[in-house]
Structure formats: structure tokens, C-alpha cells
Structure 1
Amino acid sequence: MNAAEEKQKRLKYRPFILASVMLAMFVGAIEATIVSTAMPAIAADLGGFQLYSWVFASYLLMSTVTVLIYGRLSDLFGRRPVMTFGMLLFLGGSILCGFAPNMEWLIAFRFIQGLGAGAVLPIATTIVGDIYSKEERAKIQGYLSSVWGISAVIGPVIGGLLVVTAGWQYVFWVNIPLGLLSLIGLWVFLKENVEKKKHHIDYKGTILLTAGLSILLYILVEGGGAVSWTSWIIFALLAGAAFFLTWFIHHELHTEDPMMSFSIWKNRSILIANIVSLATGVLLIGISSYLPAFVTGVMEQSARVAGFTLTAMSIGWPISAIIAGKMLIRIGYYRTSLIGGLFLVLGTISFVLMEPVHGPLWAAMSSFFVGVGMGFTSTSFIVSIQSAVAWNQRGAATAANIFMRNLGSTVGVALLGGILNNQLRSSFEESSIDEVQSFDVDSVNELLTAEGRNNLAPDVLDSLQQAMISGLNDVYSVVLAVAVLSLALILFLPRKDNEEL
């Protein structure tokens, strides 16, 4: 087969490859939507609200750490085999999550699920970068983002039905056939020509990064609660985290085939895009993790309504991503990203001003604005990064950007979870009601079901809800500060697409 025929064949199969990639992304997207929506029901069944944030943090930790090495492995061995390994691990973890007998086991199984999830999004995005040109990529990113909108509409509906009928366990099992179908499509239609040579895999870097982030995560979640901020344990852990992360950076700068190539960060567009992605990761997890608990526990709405408020975010994301794909070609990365930053600030201001009497429509509107901001910024960043590097760096470059956003979410869920838990404890201690003074964080479980709320005395219910409002107001204030920081950083992007530093 000559070069022209081979190229024609690749073009012929591109729609099927794109469909397989979108299906793989849908598996990850719908998992996030359903789990966030179902978490109040899961926490009410398994108990352990104090561990609520760890269900997200464990998943995010492993997917954050592995996203870099998966991206690098895909550059070395090809996208298809690495995606297959990650997807199968993700699906295996999903099966185990459904059998979790308590919150501790669920957290452990989420570690396994996250270990595989690190491959899905970055490699799927990289495959699109491989088979489409820069101009085509801008439009295709809109299609990829639409996956999040579709999953957002379907996810809460399916999740709500499964929770009230079959049980929350099925929110982890529903995507298994879809994941397998996406792998079949990739193996049938995606053909790769990978150079056969001996490669060095950066296992040491992976271990160092995992150790550093794990310690940091524990500090952020448990600091001020299980461990006092002023104790020697905190200072020892901080020293340990700094040691491992510093060693990781030093190792990456001097090793052969690093899993994070810092050389590409010399490009100013990549540097700013990655730093902003870190900030928006904090913002994104702050909204998606705790909004269902607010809508369910404070506004006293159903899980289905809580899911609707998150759906609005995921609808705004793909709509703006499709628009951004067209605007990138006309007005460039800088202005498109700036528009996204402004919407992020607008959405987070709305969350800070949100009161229970505003109802779920206010929450949905705020989510929508945040989703619009994420659509503009994430599309701009991915297209600009993939256009700035060669094929053999594209997987690592894409993974680095997604790593930074995941890292932000990992640190964010731990930090914001610690802020919420500490504020809840403080509110309970300051309460004038003796019963409330004896409460711990897990007492919030009673707010997450109608039956639990009905069993509480009116004054106790009001105290619990006020504590939740106070804690989440602190969370949303931090999220607003992060959105303002993101907007400020975007101002440092090059004004012209071909401008580098």
C-alpha cells in the first residue's frame, strides 16, 4: 500500500476512531456525574461523612499521578495498548466499588479505579490530536466537550433512577459495557506505526510523585481535625512532602525519558495554560463535590434535583467549547481564554451569593456559568498545547495539562474538605443547643435523606443546616479567590498565537 492509499484509509476510519474516543471519554464523564450525584445516598447508606472527601481524593490522587506516566507511555508504545490497560483497570475498579461494604473499602476501590482512569482522558484527547490538523482540532474539541454535556443530562437521570430502584452500586457498574465497546472500536480502526526501540520508563519519578502527593493530601484532609495544625506531626509531614516533591523535580530534570518533560514548559503558552489548569482544577472540584450536598441537605431537594444543578455545568461546558473552537481561529487563544476566565469569576460570585431561599435554579445558573468558563479555557489550552509540540511529545504535553488540572482537583478536594469539616466542628462547638455540641462531622449524614431530616427536632435541624451553610460559604469563598487568580494569570498569555517565550 503506497503513502497516498494509507493516508486515504486513515481518513476513512477517522469517524469511527473519533466515536470510540468519545465513548471512552463518556465512560469517564458519566462516572464523575453519577458518583457526585449519588454521593449523598452512598454516604447515608455506608456512613462516615467525615470520609466524604476521601472518596473523591483517593480517585483523584491515583488518576493525577498516573496521568503523566500514561501520557509518556503512549508516546513510547502507542496510544492503543496503554488506553486498553488503563480502561480495563478502571472498569475492574468500578466493579469492586459496587461491592464496597463500607466507606473505607469504597475509598480503597476508588484508588484502583483512579489508577486506570489516569489513562482515559489524556490518551483519548491525544488520539484526536494525532488524527486531526490544528484547524480541525479546534472544531473537534467542541465535539469532545459535548460528551460532558450528554453525560451530564443522562448521568443524573440514570443515577437518580438507579439509586431509588436498583441501588447506588449500579452507578459504578452501568458504564462497563460502554468501556468495553470503546476498546473494541479502537482495536478495530486505530492503526499506529510506533518506532520499535528500547525505552526507559520513569518508575522512580512515579514513586516520588505518589509519595509527595499522598503526604500532602493527608495533611490537607486531616489537618486541623485528626491532627492539629500546630503539632510536630504536621511539620514532619510537610517536610516529607517537600522532600519527595523536590526530589521528583530534580529527578525529572536529569533523567532519561522523564514522565514530565519540563523543557516544554519554556513555552509561555504551555506554562500559563498549565498553571491556570491547576487553579481551575481546585475550582471545579469545589463546585462538583459539594453542591449536591448543599442542594440535598440544605435546600432539602431530591438527589435528582441535585444532579440537575450539576447538569447545568456540564451543559454550559460543551456549548462554550463548540463556540470556542470557532472563536480560536477568528480571535486567537488569548481572547478566547480571557472570555472563559470572566465566566469563571461570574459563576463563582454567584455561588458566594447563593442562599437556600434562592432554590436550585440559582445553583444551576451558577453551575452553568462555571461550565461556560471551563469550556472556553480548557478548549483553548488543549488546542494551543497540542499545536506547540511534535507527535513524540504530544502525549506527554497533553497529559501534563490534564495532570495539572487533576492535581488542582486533588489538592482542592482535600483542602476544601478540610475547610468544610473544620467549620462544621466549630459551628457544633459554638451551638447553644447541648445536643448539637456533642455532634461530630458524621452527624451531617442526617441531612442527606428526607427520613434523616424528619427524625431531627426543628431547632437541631436548623443548627445542622446553618453549620453546613457556613462551611460551604467558606468553600465557595476560596473557590472565588481561585477564579480571580485564574483570570489574572490568563492576562499573562501571549497576545498572539505564535508568540513564545
Structure 2
Amino acid sequence: MRERRRVAIGAGGAVVMLAALDAYVVTTILVPVVKDIGVPINRLERVTPVLTGFLLGYVAAMPLLGQLSDRFGRRPLLQACLVFFAVGSVVTALAGDVPLLTAGRVVQGVAGGALLPVTMALAGDLWDERQRPVVLGAVGAAQELGSVLGPLYGAGIAAVMDWRAIFWINLPLVLLAMVGVQYAVPGGRGEGPRPGVDVAGGLLLALGLGLLVAGVYNPEPQESALPSWGPPVLAAGAAVLVVFVLWEIKARTRLLDLSGVRRGPLLATLGVSLLSGAALMVTLVDVVLVAQTVLGKDATEGALLLTRFLVALPVAAVAGGMIARRFGERWPMAAGMAVSAIGYLLIAAWPADLASASYGPLPRMDTDLVITGLGLGLVIAPVSSAVLGFVPAARHGVASAAVVVARMMGMLLGISALSAWGFYRFHELTADLKPPLPFLMSEDEFARQMKVYNAAVQDALRTEYQEIFWITAGMCVLGALLALAAGGRDRNRDPEPDGGPGGEPDPGRIRPAFRHTGRDSGNDSATGHVPISGRGNILGEDG
């Protein structure tokens, strides 16, 4: 029945939005958080782990959790991750210092690491390849709706209650989500051999990423772009990732099995996901900082400014799915990254008097943010659809995880590296600035010199942000080129007969194959999956 699978994907979309709310909520509550836990407002770099901790947990756990969902089923993984998400929320709400706050965010991130890819894999289970982009666009829209509401949600609650209430509220929300998942999401695991789980590969990937993030975290950016331990830790992280790649080549059970898959297009598509994630996180953090440091807005006003960008994301995510369904994945991916590059160049060129700048009747600030959001939103569904089309249905869970891992790796490494660069550049640009001392001069002279000092600080901030947005525009141009190389199936042509090198058939490309729940018969004994053509689905019903 169509209605039941819609309820299932709706429940999955709800848990995706819950995780997205908490992923982005801290971008607008940093000021009350740092005041509460005793971090000086001029040393915001000390709370960078609070931002990166969630992303690191999210990225590090996701491939392994995606693989576990392929083995044990979607519903058990969603339920287990919701429980741990609640545990992480409690730890975060009780935190009184940066290490405990970071620990809570890491637990939340690890738990949230399954919610989006498992829901994406559920879409792959329930819908055939032609219909899938639209459904994935809706899931992506739920994720981006969370990103829209997250900053506003955080700012709104922090305005009337203690910021810790944000994380206590998660407990009843998690309970409601668990009820919805239990009712709607199919619980079958499939018959026949179940895929293995590459625990060693998952741990190597997590360790390598953790070392890279630790290597770029710099609590003293006024001294250098990287901390003293940065180069050796970065080298160690790179070495561990090399070991991870070698392990994946030789291991019998792999985190992402690429046998029978066109690797070049797949890796290019994952590259698009990585670069779009980096651009997204730069925008989420730096636009709010521009609002608060350059425009003099408070946290709520900064969140409201960001909504111009965030509202455009889910709208474009749905549109990108529809375009991919009609024309294939390549063109909306390439166009989205190109439009984003234009948007970031426009943002980088924001004038000093930004509040009054406009394009005729259109406010410049709003227009540039909407353009950028529309560009990044177009990419979301085509990237997911292309990757799911490259791999057999038995690997939808881990393939979906790979898409989100790439995106979140971009967010994690992008914000870590660019924040380190930005803090360093700001300290470099202001190294020779000395604030005037009021007791050494008259009141009028002090006011005049203070005005000059503040103007110089503002110029330094604008230069820092301009350079960051220039770099982001360059990443988007690279993403557009990768999208053209990635391809994806042209919906106006017949399906390709081959899915992998040497002409080996790829069942995930030739026909949709969905996870068997035990209610159907005639499954492929080798895979435990049922081919569906036109009618019937995982629920064993028409639709």
C-alpha cells in the first residue's frame, strides 16, 4: 500500500529533521553557552570542539552504522540510535565545561550518524530508481528544514529559557520518534546470507578523521595557523587513512564494497558531496558571525539573516530531485555547484555598507544568500540518487552512508581548516592594532581614536570573511567540474546494460531490488532481495 510506505519515509524524515535540528542549533547559541561555561567571549576558538565534536561523531560512525543497517535491518538501527541520541542530549544538558559539553555532542553525533543514511537507504528499498530522486529530495528537504529551524529554534529557546532546555526537550521528541519508527518502518532483515560488518575499517576511518580534526584545532591562533602538534598529528591522520585504504583493498568484508561499481563516477559524485558539505558549513557559521561581528546584530537577528539561505535549501532540494528524475543527475549537480560559486563570489564582494546595498528593489544581502542556498540545495537529491544508482540494492545502506559521510567530512574538515585559517588571519591582520587607553588622553581624543580602532577591526573582519568566501567559491567551481565528470544516468536514454567494469551486470542498475521482509516469495537466494518491476514493494503491497 502506497500510504504505508509514505508513512515509513515520513517517520524516517522526522528523525532526520530531529538530528538536523541539533546539528545546527549551536550555531546561534554559542554566546550564551560560552558565557555559562566560563569561556571568554574573545576566545571562541576554545569551543571549536563543541562544533566539530558532533560532526566528528556523525562522520566517524556513519559508514559502520549504515553497514549494520544492511545486516540487521533499518528499524533496529533507527531505534538504537534514537536511544543513544537521548543519552547524548542528557550529557550535553548537564555539561559544565567544554570537555563534557564536547563529549555529549560527540555521543549525539554518533547516534545521529545513522538517521540520515538509513532513511536514504529506506527510500532506496521502497521506491524504484526512476521515482527515487523525488523521494530522496523530500528526505533532503527534511534535513535542510532541520537546518532552517535549528538556528531559529536555538535562538528562540535561548531567548526565553536557559540554553540547556534545548537538549532536555529532545527527550520527549525522541520518544515520539521511536513510536513513529516502530509503527511505520518495516522491520524485516531479509533472508539468505547477510552482509558482513567491517568493524576494523570503521575504526580506522574514525581514528584517521579524529586525528585530522585534532591536527587543525588551534587554541592559540594568534601564534600560528596550526598548533605545535598540528603537523605530526595531521601526518598521523593521513597515515591511518592510507592504512584504511589498504585494508579496504585487501579485506574480505569492506566498509564500502566497490566490486562491480564504476569507481570513477562514484568517487567524483562523493567529491561533489564533500565540497558541497564544506560550503554549507562555512555558510552556517560565517554568515552568523558576519551578522554579529560586522553588522552588530544579536543571535536572533543573525539566525533570521541565515534563514534567507536556509529556506532556499529545502525548496531547491525538492526541485533538484524533480529535475534529476527528468534529465538525470549530472546537470542539476553541475548547475547547483556553479550557481553556488556565483553566490559565494557575490557574498565575498559585500560592501562595508551592506545594510543599504541592493539590486534595484531587491536587498543585496537577502538576494545573494537565496542564490547560494538554491545552488547548494539543487545538489542534494541528485548526489544521493546517483550514488544509489551506482551500487546494488544490497548495499544501499552503506552507499547512502558514504554520501552523507562525504558531505559531513566536507563540513567537518572545511569548518576546522577554514576556522583555523580565519582565526589566524584575523590575528595577523590586527597584530599591530592597539586599543586606545582612556586615561592617557582627553575624552574627545579617546572617542576619536576608538572610532579609528573599531573601523580597523571591522576592515580586518571583512578581509577575513572575504578570503574565506573566495576559497569557498573555488571549492564550488571544483565541485561543478567533478559533477560533469561524475555523470549519472541520463533519464532520456535507456538504462545502461552494464553496471561495472568488464560488462558485469549490476543488479542495482538493471532492476530495482528491495530488501525482503519475509512476506514475499521468490527472492534471490544469493542476495535475500526481491526484484520488483512496476508493482509491489518491500511491504508486499501494491504501490
TM-score, normalized by length of structure 2?
0.80
Task: Choose the corresponding residue for 1:112, options 102, 107, 113.
Answer: 107
Match runs of 1:149-298 below 5 Å:
150-152=145-147, 154-191=149-186, 192-195=188-191, 200-222=196-218, 225=221, 233-263=229-259, 266-298=262-294
Per the alignment, do residues 44 and 365 of structure 1 end up closer, same or farther by CA in structure 2, a change over 3 Å counting? farther
- What residue number does 2:20 align with? 29
Is the 8 Å Cα contact of residues 197 and 253 (structure 2) preserved in structure 1? yes
1:452-501 Cα deviation digits (max 9, x unpaired): xx9x9545544443333232222212111111111122221337535677
How far, CA to CA, are the matches of 2:35 and 2:219 in structure 1?
24
How far, CA to CA, are the matches of 1:153 and 1:387 in structure 2?
29
Question: Structure 1 residues 240-249 or 227-236, which shifts more?
Answer: 227-236
Deviation of residue 322 (structure 1)?
Answer: 1.9
Match runs of 1:347-362 below 5 Å:
347-359=343-355, 362=364
1:151-202 Cα deviation digits (max 9, x unpaired): 4554444322211110222233333323322221121222224337576432
How far, CA to CA, are the matches of 2:423 and 2:227 in structure 1?
18
Per the alignment, do residues 264 and 295 of structure 1 end up closer, same or farther by CA in structure 2, a change over 3 Å counting? farther
Is the 8 Å Cα contact of residues 319 and 372 (structure 1) preserved in structure 2? yes
- Identify, as 1 or 2, the structure richer in helix: 1
Is the 8 Å Cα contact of residues 216 and 238 (structure 1) preserved in structure 2? yes
Is the 8 Å Cα contact of residues 227 and 234 (structure 1) preserved in structure 2? no
Question: Structure 1 residues 287-296 or 28-37, which shifts more?
Answer: 28-37
2:120 match: secondary structure: helix
2:87 match: secondary structure: helix
Per the alignment, do residues 216 and 156 of structure 1 end up closer, same or farther by CA in structure 2, a change over 3 Å counting? closer
How far, CA to CA, are the matches of 1:457 and 1:105 in structure 2?
39
Is the 8 Å Cα contact of residues 215 and 226 (structure 2) preserved in structure 1? no
Match runs of 1:24-173 below 5 Å:
24-46=15-37, 47=39, 48-148=43-143, 150-152=145-147, 154-173=149-168
- What residue number does 1:479 align with? 472
Matched, 1:308 2:304: yes
2:375 maps to a residue whose letter is G
Is the 8 Å Cα contact of residues 37 and 306 (structure 1) preserved in structure 2? yes
Task: Choose the corresponding residue for 2:11, options 13, 20, 23.
Answer: 20
TM-score, normalized by length of structure 1?
0.86
Per the alignment, do residues 209 and 178 of structure 1 end up closer, same or farther by CA in structure 2, a change over 3 Å counting? same
How far, CA to CA, are the matches of 2:151 and 2:307 in structure 1?
7
How far, CA to CA, are the matches of 1:203 and 1:496 in structure 2?
33
1:292-315 Cα deviation digits (max 9, x unpaired): 121012201122221122222222
How far, CA to CA, are the matches of 1:100 and 1:114 in structure 2?
16
Match runs of 1:304-383 below 5 Å:
304-359=300-355, 362-383=364-385
- What residue number does 2:459 align with? 466
1:367-413 Cα deviation digits (max 9, x unpaired): 32222122211211111222332221111111111111111111111
Task: Choose the corresponding residue for 1:489, options 470, 482, 505.
Answer: 482
1:272-304 Cα deviation digits (max 9, x unpaired): 110111111211111112221210122011222
Is the 8 Å Cα contact of residues 11 and 185 (structure 2) preserved in structure 1? no
| Count of residues in Structure 1 that have an aligned counterpart in Structure 2 | 474
- What residue number does 1:442 align with? none
Per the alignment, do residues 233 and 325 of structure 1 end up closer, same or farther by CA in structure 2, a change over 3 Å counting? closer
Per the alignment, do residues 384 and 158 of structure 1 end up closer, same or farther by CA in structure 2, a change over 3 Å counting? same
Per the alignment, do residues 337 and 70 of structure 1 end up closer, same or farther by CA in structure 2, a change over 3 Å counting? same
Is the 8 Å Cα contact of residues 324 and 336 (structure 1) preserved in structure 2? yes
Task: Using the aligned pairs only, state the percent identity.
Answer: 21
Question: Structure 1 residues 30-39 or 15-24, which shifts more?
Answer: 30-39
1:334-385 Cα deviation digits (max 9, x unpaired): 2222221221112211221123521395444333222212221121111122
Deviation of residue 123 (structure 1)?
Answer: 0.7
2:390 maps to a residue whose letter is A
Question: Structure 1 residues 384-393 or 457-466, which shifts more?
Answer: 457-466
2:254 maps to a residue whose letter is P
1:46-86 Cα deviation digits (max 9, x unpaired): 32412243222111111111110011111111111112222
2:253 match: secondary structure: coil
1:145 match: secondary structure: helix
1:182-236 Cα deviation digits (max 9, x unpaired): 2211212222243375764322222222222122112222298488579984443
Per the alignment, do residues 388 and 495 of structure 1 end up closer, same or farther by CA in structure 2, a change over 3 Å counting? closer
Is the 8 Å Cα contact of residues 223 and 234 (structure 1) preserved in structure 2? no
Match runs of 1:384-423 below 5 Å:
384-423=386-425
RMSD in angstroms over aligned alpha carbons?
A: 2.8
How far, CA to CA, are the matches of 1:468 and 1:225 in structure 2?
15
How far, CA to CA, are the matches of 1:231 and 1:468 in structure 2?
22
1:113 match: secondary structure: helix
1:430 match: secondary structure: coil
How far, CA to CA, are the matches of 1:297 and 1:354 in structure 2?
14
2:292 maps to a residue whose letter is T
Per the alignment, do residues 119 and 265 of structure 1 end up closer, same or farther by CA in structure 2, a change over 3 Å counting? same
How far, CA to CA, are the matches of 1:135 and 1:243 in structure 2?
41
Is the 8 Å Cα contact of residues 58 and 108 (structure 1) preserved in structure 2? yes
